[in-house]
């Protein structure tokens, strides 16, 4: 069996960046994403989010690719949220997402970044965070 450790920092938002992730439903949504991922053999190391987006640190398995993992997480979770009326209005994820490879040497920094989303977004909006990620990516290629 091959040994593969490919770390991905995945970020995706609610449709139109609506504030659909509330204090009341956040832990239930995150817990469901973790349970569903485990059932589908998607390894989630760390997950957190704020009102309009989610950050996930995950590791891809040998038979997985980013597009399929994202589809499994987003598609199933939005279906489950709507079926169980977890959100007061129709819940959808934005089609777009960011998936960044992460070096094993900075995993703890990425975990801390994800863990501290509430503090981070007191001073920076998701739009600013998104633009910052994109500009850093474009610096390297």
Domains of the chain: 6-136 (3.30.70.1290)
| Distance in angstroms (rounded) separating the CA atoms of residues 87 and 108 | 32
**Both structure tokens of 25:** 């439903």
Per-residue pLDDT, 3: 81
Q: What is the mean pLDDT of each run of 10 residues along the chain (141 residues)?
A: 87 95 96 97 96 96 93 97 96 95 93 85 70 65 54
DSSP states of 3-22 as a string? ---EEEEEEEEBGGG-----
Per-residue pLDDT, 126: 67
Q: Is 0.85 topped by the overall pTM?
A: yes
DSSP bridge pairs for 25: none
Torsion (CA) 84, 87, 89, 94 in degrees, nearest 10 = -100
CA nearest to 74, candidates 133, 134, 6, 15: 15
For residue 86, give Cα distances in angstroms to 18, 27, 29, 89.
15, 11, 8, 9
Per-residue pLDDT, 5: 87
């Amino acid at each position: 069996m091959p040994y593969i450790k490919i770390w991905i920092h995945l970020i995706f938002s609610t449709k139109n960046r609506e504030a659909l992730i509330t204090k009341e439903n956040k832990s239930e949504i995150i817990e469901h994403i973790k349970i569903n991922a485990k059932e589908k053999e998607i390894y989630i190391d760390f997950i957190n989010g704020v009102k309009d987006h989610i950050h996930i640190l995950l590791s891809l398995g040998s038979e997985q690719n980013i597009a399929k993992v994202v589809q499994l997480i987003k598609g199933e979770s939005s279906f489950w949220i709507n079926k169980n009326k977890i959100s007061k209005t129709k819940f959808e994820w934005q089609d777009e997402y960011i998936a960044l490879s992460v070096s094993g040497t900075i995993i703890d920094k990425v975990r801390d970044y994800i863990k501290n989303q509430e503090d981070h977004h007191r001073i920076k909006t998701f739009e600013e965070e998104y633009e910052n990620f994109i500009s850093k990516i474009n610096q390297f290629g």
